[in-house]
């Protein structure tokens, strides 16, 4: 196994996030690597397909603020400094790829639900991250 120097942990801020974070923290300590935490907030318009003729800016801002607060809590709990905590808006796979490239990440760590069947081995986000990245990806199975 190669030495990793910078690890990006993409979390979804659910109750399952600590499972991914615990594994990521152990990996970063074992390799002496810097840990980055990221969360991607999907644009509210995606959920409605852009069919609702209303300004969703306030809702988007509330989601963004809540994500920053939650990520900061995890950052404090897992010893990740604020400069290495990123909340961004966009498509999760694309943003994870972009941030990994921008920050020279060696390893991306994501959570994956262990569903039945070969095609459901990885969730859609984990699968999207795996296909299209230029570095290693660790999918942590979420129980």
pTM exceeds 0.75, yes or no: yes
3-class SS letters over the chain: CCCCCEEEEECCCCCCHHHHHHHHHHHHHHHCCEEEEEEEECCHHHHHCCCCCCCCHHHHHHHHHHHHHHHHHHHHHHCCCHHHEEEEECCHHHHHHHHHHHCCCCEEEEEEECCCCHHHCCCHHHHHHHCCCCCEEEEEEEC
Distance in angstroms (rounded) separating the CA atoms of residues 76 and 118: 37
Question: Domain map of the chain by residue range?
Answer: 6-142
pLDDT tens digits for range 35-48: 999 999 888 765 55
Domain 6-142, CATH: 3.40.50.620
Residue 118: predicted pLDDT? 40
pLDDT digits over 83-122, tens only? 999 999 998 889 999 999 999 999 999 987 655 444 444 4
């Amino acid at each position: 196994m190669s030495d990793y120097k910078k690890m990006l942990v993409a979390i979804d801020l659910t109750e399952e996030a600590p499972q991914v974070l615990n594994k990521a923290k152990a990996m970063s300590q074992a390799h002496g690597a810097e840990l980055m935490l990221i969360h991607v907030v999907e644009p509210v318009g995606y959920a409605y397909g852009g069919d609702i003729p209303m300004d969703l800016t306030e809702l988007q801002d509330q989601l963004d603020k809540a994500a920053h607060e939650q990520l900061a809590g995890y950052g404090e709990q897992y010893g990740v400094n604020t400069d290495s905590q990123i909340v961004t808006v966009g498509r999760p796979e694309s943003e994870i790829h972009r941030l990994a490239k921008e920050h020279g990440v060696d390893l991306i760590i994501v959570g994956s639900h262990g569903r039945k069947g070969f095609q459901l081995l990885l969730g859609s986000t984990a699968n999207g991250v795996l296909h299209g990245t230029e570095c290693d990806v660790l999918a942590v199975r979420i129980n």
